[in-house]
Amino acid sequence: MTVERQELDILAGFDKSKFDYLPGEDRYLTVENQPKLKFNLIGTGNIGQEHMKVTILEGRATINGLYDPNEKSIEQAKDVFVNELQAGDINVFESLEEACNDPEADALLICTPNYTHIDVVRVAAKSKKHIFLEKPMTTNLEDAYEIMEIAKDYPSIFQIGLQYRYKPIYVEAIHEALERKSVGDIKTISIMEHRVPFLDKVGQWNKFSEKSGGTFVEKCCHYFDLFNLFAQSKPVEVYATGSQAVNFQTFQYEGESSDIIDSGFVIVKYENGIQCNFNLSMFSPMFYEELVLCGNEGRLKATETERFVPLEGPDNYLEVIRAGGSPSKTSTPVYPTEIQKSGHGGATYYEHVYFVDNILGKTTSTATVEEGFWSIVVGLAAEESLRTGEKVIINDFLAANPKDTVVNN
C-alpha cells in the first residue's frame, strides 16, 4: 500500500514529526519519504543548500552526492544533509567529472557561480543526465548560444532556475492576467525590486560584472523573465540607466575594485507594443518586490514584503481592480507554512516539484533554456545600454553575434 501523492499534498506544511512514536507499519499518511530519484549537487553554497533542503522536503528525490572545490561549502552542506535534514549519508566527489558521471545519479543540480556555468554544463551535458541549471544561464551571449545549442537535441530535461514565477504573488498574477484576462489586454508592466545589497559569496563573484554578467543579468534576469512571460512577446528595444550609488564603492577583492551597479531603471518595449519598466534599489533596508500590470480593462498590483522592523502589513498582497462593473478584489496569496519558508517564498520548492514532474514525463511550466536565454538577452542589453548611454535594438544586438541563427530559427 503506497500513500498517494494527492494525500501527501493535502498534508504539505503539516508538522509530522510528533508522530515519530508510530511503529513503521502504522505509518501511512506520515510515512517516511521513499525517494526514487537521486540528484548530485554541484556547487553547495547558498542556493545549493536551499536546493538540497527542498529536494528532501519535496520527497520524491534525494541528494546522492556533492561536489564543490570549497571545503567549507561541502562541510556545511554535509552537516545540513546529515544532521539538520537527517536524510542519511551523502557522497562527496573529488572532481566535477566524477560527480557528473556517477552512475547512481539521475540528475545534476548546477548551483555554481554564473561565470562557471558554461564550463560545468560542457562536462555535465556529456553525461546526458537531467540537468537543472541555476539562473542566469550564462554571463554573455556567446556562452548562451552554446548552451542553446547543447540543449537543442538534449535527450533529457534541461531546466533553468528562473523560479520567481512560482512565488505565490506571481502564480496568482499569472492566473489573473494571462488565464482569466482580468485586466483585459496588458499594455504596461512595471516591476520594482528594493532590497539589501548583494550578500557575501565564495570568491565574491557577485561584486564583479565579468563574473556575474552585471547586476541587470545576475539579479534582474528573474524580473526580465517575468516581463517576457506577462508580455507573451519578444523584446525589441531596451534602454537603461544605473549607477553604483551606495554599495561596494571602496570594496576590493584580490586587488580589483567592484564594478557592479546597485540601482537603476530599465525600459523594455515588446514586439506587440507592450511597454515595461523596471526599477532597482539595492540599498533599501528590506526585501520588496512590486508588480503592476495595466490593461485596457483593469489594473493588477502584487507585492511581496520582508520587513526588518516591527510594522504591520501583509507579506504577500494582490489586488485586481477591474473596470466596467466587473468585480474587483484583494487577496494575500501564500503557500503552506513549511513550504512558504523553505526559500524564495516557496518558489524553489515548486520548481523542484515540477523538475521531478518533468523527469517523470509530465508537462509543466518550468523555465526552458530558450526562456533562460531571453531573460538574459534583456539583462545583457540593459548592461550594454548602461555602457553606451544608447537605446539597444535587440535585433542588432543579436545580429552582432555570429551564432544568432541558433535562436532565430
Closer by beta carbon to ligand NAD, 96 or else 377: 96
| Residues paired with residue 304 on neighbouring β-strands, in sequence order | 289, 316
Closest distance of CB 61 from ligand NAD, Å: 18
Residue with cell 575594485: 257
Assess contact for 156 and 133: CB atoms under 8 A.
no
Closer by beta carbon to ligand NAD, 176 or else 225: 225
DSSP state, 316? E
Query: Which has the closest alpha carbon to 161: 361, 346, 369?
Result: 369
Closest distance of CB 396 from ligand NAD, Å: 27
Closer by beta carbon to ligand NAD, 45 or else 235: 45
> Which single residue brings its beta carbon nearest to ligand NAD?
45
* Distance in angstroms (rounded) separating the CA atoms of residues 308 and 75: 30
Closer by beta carbon to ligand NAD, 70 or else 405: 70
Closest distance of CB 181 from ligand NAD, Å: 29
Closest distance of CB 242 from ligand NAD, Å: 18
Let me know the angle formed at the C-alpha of 216 by 302 and 377, rounded to the nearest 5 degrees: 100
Closest distance of CB 190 from ligand NAD, Å: 21
Closer by beta carbon to ligand NAD, 112 or else 385: 112
Residue with cell 526552458: 368
Closest distance of CB 211 from ligand NAD, Å: 10
* Distance in angstroms (rounded) separating the CA atoms of residues 193 and 264: 10
Tell me the three cell numbers of residue 373: 536565454
Closer by beta carbon to ligand NAD, 132 or else 145: 132
How does DSSP assign 167-192, residue by residue? SHHHHHHHIIIIIS-TTSSEEEEEEE
Closer by beta carbon to ligand NAD, 70 or else 232: 70
Please state, in angstroms and as integers, the Cα–Cα distance from residue 319 to each residue in 293, 294, 341, following that order: 11, 12, 23
Closest distance of CB 206 from ligand NAD, Å: 7
Assess contact for 280 and 242: CB atoms under 8 A.
yes
Assess contact for 14 and 30: CB atoms under 8 A.
no
Residues lying near ligand NAD in the complex (CB under 6 A) are found at 42-48, 67-70, 73, 96, 111-114, 116, 120, 134-135, 161, 163, 201-202, 218, 344
Closer by beta carbon to ligand NAD, 163 or else 228: 163
SS (H, E, C) 323-352: CCCCCCEEECCCCCHHHHCCCHHHHHHHHH
Closest distance of CB 38 from ligand NAD, Å: 18
